Amino acid sequence: MPNQLTSSSGHSHTFDPKADPNSVVFVGDGEPHTPEATIARLSKLLKQGKLIPDHYSLGGSVADLESRMADELGKEAAIWMPTGTMANIIGLRKHCGINARVVLQEQSHIYQDEGDALSRLCSINAVPLALNRPHFTVDELKESFKASTTGRVLNPVGAVSVESPVRRQAGQVVPWDDMVAVTELCRKEGIPVHLDGARLYMMSAVTGISVRKYASMFDSVYVSSYKYFGAPFGGVLAGKAEFVDGLFNDRRMFGGGIPFGYLAAGLSLEGIDDFEVKFDKSLAKAKNLFEGLDEISGIYVRKFKNGSNIFELQLDDSIDAEKFTESLLQASIVLNWPSSEWPRPLLHVNSSILRLPNSEIIQAFSDAYQRSRKDVS
């Protein structure tokens, strides 16, 4: 979204406000990646001897990241994947063996955003539950299991996948009790259950339930490395040693045996170190900020009952979206509105919120509201 603006560094030229290191960016889960910041971090890691080359994603910093993540998640092993899409697909494919069904949320990334890869690349049929809702219930899952074993042809479910937080549902999380009930049923039925936990660390920071405790309920877990750990791409798939064993062959078969994965893995390792403290601080600041925004007449920030780092900004119909976002941009605040995926503007909290004092952000929202009212010329 390049704009002709004066950046807070004083330069007047076309620039992407998201890339301005002084902007508060209410978009995305981590601080926006910029080439400058990435290169500076790589240089620092190189000087510290923390970039150790791999060989086609085997060894070096990639292996360091794998063992660190396995340990944090309380799993026996982990494998780095160049994308989360690949981690989900390869993990579910391994769980399924010769079974042909995966039950998942209709709103999940796997069902909506991975191009039907399960069916097209793996001959697995995705069975979507919970249409337009964040998650399915244990009773819905039971029904789905029953249907798979009582139809004309026995067609057992090979794996269940749970995404949480749910990206397409404004980051709402699957409540703990539902997660326990669903995973217990899977265990009772002997059906492997996978967690698409791209944002698992954020969920944990919000709910106070450790990543290890969440992971313990699942046979496999995927965590993203680039959404909030500052790597340019990639993620990790963790599980039992026998599950992870040999998956590097599948990774290569699917085209993911990246020759220099260590650059991404090294950045990710550093990002894990920084994440918790910064994110907790950001959430606390956001709480205080939203209380301040709620005091502005005409503005209300909705907190989802089972929300994570995403909040809904409620403004009355008199507001011109373009003028509102433009006015915020002038104050170095970035908001994506309108969006094709959610009817109202969403405020994503990430650590860029630490860049401006709350008083300044509140003033900017108040000004933007006044300047963008259609009923006031």
Ligand X SMILES: Cc1ncc(COP(=O)(O)O)c(C=O)c1O
**Residues at the contact surface with ligand X, assessed by CB under 6 A:** 83-85, 88, 109, 163, 167, 196, 198, 224, 235
* Alpha carbon distance 58, 247 (integer Å): 12
CB of 348 to ligand X, least distance (A): 12
CB of 149 to ligand X, least distance (A): 29
Residue 193 vs 319, nearer CB to ligand X:
193
Residue 84 vs 91, nearer CB to ligand X:
84
**Pair of tokens at residue 249:** 């062959």
The strand pair at 77-81 and 235-239 is best described as antiparallel
What are the backbone dihedrals phi and psi of residue 336, each rounded to the nearest 5 degrees, phi first?
-90, 105
In what helix (H) or strand (E) does residue 25 lie, and over which residues does it extend?
A: strand 24-25
Residue 83 vs 306, nearer CB to ligand X:
83
Residue 85 vs 183, nearer CB to ligand X:
85
**Pair of tokens at residue 220:** 């496999």
Residue 109 vs 348, nearer CB to ligand X:
109
DSSP H helical ranges for 193-314: 200-207, 211-216, 241-244, 247-253, 262-294
Residue 20 vs 31, nearer CB to ligand X:
31
The strand pair at 333-334 and 24-25 is best described as parallel
**Pair of tokens at residue 110:** 């796997």
CB 222 within 8 A of CB 211: no
Residue 205 vs 315, nearer CB to ligand X:
205
* Alpha carbon distance 151, 163 (integer Å): 27
Scan for tokens 């994603």, then name that residue.
57
CB of 132 to ligand X, least distance (A): 16
Instruction: Pick the closest to residue 62 from 275, 304, 231, 286 (CA basis).
Output: 231
DSSP H helical ranges for 154-261: 176-189, 200-207, 211-216, 241-244, 247-253
Residue 82 vs 345, nearer CB to ligand X:
82
CB of 167 to ligand X, least distance (A): 4
CB of 196 to ligand X, least distance (A): 5
* Alpha carbon distance 348, 209 (integer Å): 21
Closest residue to ligand X: CB criterion: 84
**Pair of tokens at residue 315:** 């403004």
CB of 225 to ligand X, least distance (A): 8
Q: Name the region of 54 (left: φ>0; alpha: ψ -120 to 50; beta: rest).
A: beta
Amino acid at 311: F
CB of 353 to ligand X, least distance (A): 20
Concatenate the DSSP letters of all residues of 77-90 into one string: EEEEES-HHHHHHH
Residue 224 vs 327, nearer CB to ligand X:
224
CB of 301 to ligand X, least distance (A): 23
CB of 294 to ligand X, least distance (A): 29
Radius of gyration of the chain, Cα coordinates, nearest whole angstrom: 22
